[in-house]
Amino acid sequence: MKKHLFLLPLLAAAVSGCPSNTLKTAESGEKPDLLHAALDTTVAPGDDFFQYANGTWLKNHPIPSSESSWGIGREVQNEVYARLRQTSLEAAKSNAAAGSNQQKIGDFWAVGIDSVKADQLSAAPIKPELDRIAAMKSVAEVPAVSARLIPLGVNALIGPGVEQDAKRSDQMALYLWQAGLGLPNRDYYFNTDARTKNIRREYLRHVAATFRLLGQDSVAAQANTQRVMALETALAKSSRKLEDLRDPYKNYNKMSIAQLNKLTPGVDWNAWLTQLEVKTVDSVIVGQPEFYQTVGRLLKTAPLADWQAYLSWQLAHTFAPALSRGFDQENFRFYGTVLRGAKSQRPRWKRVLDMQETALGDALGQLFVKEYFKPEAKARYEKLVKDVSTSFGEHIQKLDWMSDSTKKVALGKLQKITPKVGYPDKWKDYSSLKVDRSSLAANVLRANQWRYRYQNNKLGKPVDRTEWGMTPQTYNAYYNPSNNEIVLPAAIFAVPGLLDADADDALVYGYAGASTIGHELTHGFDDQGSQFDAQGNLKEWWSKADRARFTQRVNGIVRQFNGYTMLDSMHINGKATAGENIADLGGIVIAFDAFKKTAQYKEGKKINGLTPTQRYFLGYALGWQGHQRDESLAAGLLTDVHSPPKFRVNGPMADIPEFYEAFGVKPGQKLYQPDSTRVVIW
């Protein structure tokens, strides 16, 4: 997954407020030149290419107080919000037919924006579930009550989910994953640095404050906070680290229900799965067996009061943003300010649009693509996918470290990668989802339940390989190893302030070809994706010698990124981020060879003093144009399998000879690495 921190409208859409800086050539007249306008020429490209490429833009676009990070997409996202807001306002006034998408969009918006009603209701929308938790008479009821909460979107103890079987991609399987934590991951419970210790202290404050909002006095709130922390710490202790979750074999443990019952003595999984609305299954895939052993132990040893506190907290935590002002602001104070560094909360209407996107994304997507994704844009990027894929095949054929037999299979896998560009041919059907004006929380709850049941209903049915896992208005993209596909939503091709027709090939090949298309294609051959075959099955298709040579190269990129330090003493986790770093490097070198076939590259004409090759690398850097607060950066270093944006630019550039040549990088400059230490994979 590419993973950007912002959303964008489309490159093909007209955007107001284009920058005044323009590019000038004899043939083209005046056009906006975003690449030249963003440069910070006080910085040498060989010392810090990210800053050189983006420095002026960063200086002119400080992070707003309501945000923990800011990037080019947030600038245009305000335009998108404005349009979605207008769409929602019109839907709310339209008196649309009951059950129609327009009625659902309108009602979701109308009750969502009504903060007075939310304040009047306070915690009433979740009171039935709170009462259910309080009414428990014994720990034996915990599985049933958690099974009631999980479909509502609550992170209640365990993580069931229906996905394609990693080893049989033509079948849907039930997975059980580690879950149940209120902090982002296990490291937050055990790291001893001052930053994390402070976050733990603030977390205890936050949990206690939430209990007080639920009506508990300070003594009860403190006692229940300690109960929550004790349970979550026990779960965290048996949770795997971020890097360990990336091994597809170690996280694939298929077992029968009888074996699962044996793994967790005293737990009746037949009953629990029935309560979880799971159809009859004869096997499950347990991601982290040691976690479920701990779940089984805690269900025998932890007292009822601990479970009541824990489940109440997880319920309130889940729905806090959709409840009254007190819950919403306290949730933001911890998760927005303490964890991510935002200074003030975003406007309510934007937060409601985000919730509406989660609940009704495909309904909004249908409206989005009609207005913003023009046929000529779709055709351009479908061609770009073909060009980059062809280049990847040429790279595979030329590899000096891979045997001919493995190359043949690799080329076969590449040829079978299905590209999905723009938007799906079939949209999700929301006819069974009830949306009304009773409360925002009720709509969020029902939408979560709809999504859970939608996924559960796939058990026992043929795999729908046409389905999309993202909406077209999402500024992101992904490679799905089980389908052997790359999915490229329409919005991922956007550049704010620039029409598609005005974007030169160098920018497009760097921005879309390298950082998105080439990146996602390379995921099929990174340290994780390379373990899946052309049919999407977890199956070794490499020779042992080729796998060893590949692993040696992967270890090189792990060492490289382990060496990057920020925030005084924090390091990038080279092992956890290896797949993304491989995809970044692969995307750049593969798309560059595709770009070399274009007329712009062959003509070699400069634009605003920049050569086509320089503009290509700047186009790639444009994709990571943004910055983030220290709190957000620290959180990402612990929880994200993606390196920080600065190092997604500087890291791979240090390995690419053509970059050195284009910008005259010399020994002694900070990015310079000797030939012998540069990483070469694809």
Top-confidence residue, 562 or 495: 562
Q: What is the average per-residue pLDDT within 330-357?
A: 97
Tell me: pLDDT of 188 over 80.
yes
pLDDT tens column, 300-332: 999 999 999 999 999 999 999 999 999 999 999
pLDDT for residue 484: 98
pLDDT for residue 21: 35
Tell me: pLDDT of 372 over 90.
no
Contacts of 347 (CB under 8 A, 6+ apart): 66
Four-residue CA torsion sign, 286, 288, 294, 299: negative
- Helices assigned H by DSSP within 436-577: 440-456, 505-508, 519-523, 544-562
Tell me: pLDDT of 259 over 70.
yes
Residue 223 CB coordination number (10 Å): 14
Q: What is the average per-residue pLDDT within 529-542?
A: 98
The identity of residue 493, as a single letter, is F
Is residue 174 classed exposed, middle or buried when 0-12, 13-18 and 19+ CB atoms within 10 A define those classes?
buried
The Cα–Cα gap between 272 and 299 comes to 13
3: confidence class by pLDDT, cuts 50, 70, 90: low
pLDDT tens column, 637-648: 999 999 999 999
pLDDT for residue 410: 98
Q: Are 77 and 8 in contact (CB under 8 A)?
A: yes
pLDDT tens column, 83-93: 788 889 999 99
Q: What is the average per-residue pLDDT within 206-218?
A: 98
pLDDT tens column, 128-138: 999 999 999 99
pLDDT tens column, 161-182: 999 999 999 999 999 999 999 9
Q: Show me where the domains of the chain are located.
A: 24-73+374-424+468-677, 139-322
Q: Are 146 and 437 in contact (CB under 8 A)?
A: no
Question: What pairing do the DSSP bridges indicate for beta strands 418-422 and 29-32?
Answer: unpaired
Tell me: pLDDT of 677 over 70.
yes
Fold of 24-73+374-424+468-677: Collagenase (Catalytic Domain) (3.40.390)
Tell me: pLDDT of 157 over 80.
yes
Q: What is the average per-residue pLDDT within 495-510?
A: 90
pLDDT for residue 499: 84
76: confidence class by pLDDT, cuts 50, 70, 90: low
* Token pair in block for residue 522: 């390379």
Question: Mean pLDDT across the chain, nearest whole number?
Answer: 93
The Cα–Cα gap between 248 and 250 comes to 6
Q: Are 512 and 500 in contact (CB under 8 A)?
A: no
The Cα–Cα gap between 306 and 224 comes to 7
Q: Are 231 and 310 in contact (CB under 8 A)?
A: yes
CA angle 525, 545, 480 (to 5 degrees): 15
pLDDT for residue 500: 82
* Number of residues assigned to the chain: 682
Partners of 70 in beta bridges: 627
pLDDT for residue 640: 97
pLDDT for residue 30: 65
- Of 563, 567, 564, 561, give the one whose Cα is nearest residue 629: 567
The Cα–Cα gap between 460 and 57 comes to 51
Tell me: pLDDT of 588 over 90.
yes
pLDDT tens column, 106-115: 999 999 999 9
3-state secondary structure of 274: helix
488: confidence class by pLDDT, cuts 50, 70, 90: very high
444: confidence class by pLDDT, cuts 50, 70, 90: very high
pLDDT tens column, 404-416: 999 999 999 999 9
The pLDDT > 70 percentage for the chain reads 95
Return phi, psi of residue 14, to 5°. Answer: -70, 135
Question: What pairing do the DSSP bridges indicate for beta strands 418-422 and 485-489?
Answer: parallel
Fold of 139-322: Neutral endopeptidase; domain 2 (1.10.1380)
Q: Is 215 left (phi over 0), alpha (psi -120 to 50) or beta?
A: left
Residue 472 CB coordination number (10 Å): 25
Question: CA separation (Å) from 591 to 385, 554, 557, 613, 646?
Answer: 10, 20, 20, 12, 20
Is residue 601 classed exposed, middle or buried when 0-12, 13-18 and 19+ CB atoms within 10 A define those classes?
buried
Q: Are 89 and 99 in contact (CB under 8 A)?
A: no
Tell me: pLDDT of 382 over 60.
yes
DSSP label at residue 242: T
pLDDT for residue 123: 98
3-state secondary structure of 66: coil
pLDDT for residue 436: 98
Is residue 297 classed exposed, middle or buried when 0-12, 13-18 and 19+ CB atoms within 10 A define those classes?
middle
pLDDT for residue 371: 76
pLDDT tens column, 25-58: 334 456 779 999 999 999 999 999 999 999 999 9
Q: Are 500 and 11 in contact (CB under 8 A)?
A: yes
Tell me: pLDDT of 660 over 80.
yes
367: confidence class by pLDDT, cuts 50, 70, 90: confident
Q: What is the average per-residue pLDDT within 488-502?
A: 86
pLDDT for residue 25: 38
Partners of 255 in beta bridges: 284
The Cα–Cα gap between 419 and 433 comes to 30
- Of 620, 674, 610, 616, give the one whose Cα is nearest residue 645: 620
